[in-house]
Amino acid sequence: MISHGERGHVPVGLVVVVVALVIALVVLWLYCRKSGTYGAAKAPPPPPFATRVDSTTRDSVLAYARSLEYDPTPGAGDEQRLMVGSKCPPWAPGGNCTYGPRVQIQPQSGSYAIADTFQLASGRFVARLVTLDSAYKKLNLRTGPVTYWWVDEHGPGSTWRSVFVSADTMDTLVIRNNRSTFHPGSPTPGYRWWQAIARFEWRETDEGLWVTCTKSGCCRSDM
């Protein structure tokens, strides 16, 4: 029989296990907040230069680009071989495309936390590209140095544009059209991103680039 004093007794070992589990969960939660994996990352600070990125010295632009954090975590970014050639598919008349160098795209860690299009319009770095093989002229990619992806609203007629800034100061800037899409009420009211994400986009004739670039928007660039 169980004596009166033993009724309701909780084993000490179980108490220790529960307390340890609670402590572990608290520590994990605090770590995630500190590391930015819990939606706590800050938007990139505004650039220290007042002029346009294509009117500023390359050293100043690169110093700013390198001061930012980029997320190399698989899944946050993307990796694939990019197309070389001018027409696809290769069996079509005049088609000559083939697989090119293997390239990674890594989002700027705070790109998803940029408040609005007003902040983005003045210009921000949203991702970087790293070639793992040979050079890729379309994106200013050389073997070794990275290329930084900048977005602003200083294109012709105040349109959105992408500027690809090579870490090799001998390379000129590459400017492409940029299409920004904003989702203030979709798929649910108050929708927002909770981490930075970047992808290569499949297209029938060439790849494109995609990245989170405001709290509820994304940017796409032609190549």
What are the tens digits of pLDDT across the range 117-137? 888 998 999 999 998 888 887
> What phi and psi, each to the nearest 5 degrees, are found at residue 204?
-65, -30
Q: Note if the bond before 187 is cis, omega within 30 degrees.
A: yes
Q: Report the number of secondary-structure helices (H) and strands (E) in the chain.
A: 3, 9
CA–centroid distance for 63 within its chain: 19
**Domain-wise residue ranges, the chain:** 4-35, 53-221
Farthest-apart Cα atoms in the chain, separation: 92
What is the C-alpha to C-alpha distance for residues 149 and 105, in angstroms, rounded to an integer?
Answer: 10
- Residue range 61-114, pLDDT digits in tens: 999 999 999 999 989 999 998 888 777 776 677 777 888 888 999 999 999 999
What is the C-alpha to C-alpha distance for residues 99 and 96, in angstroms, rounded to an integer?
Answer: 10
- Residue range 3-24, pLDDT digits in tens: 545 445 557 666 666 666 767 6
SS3 128: strand
**Residue 211 confidence class, pLDDT cut points 50, 70, 90:** very high
The DSSP letter of residue 138 is G
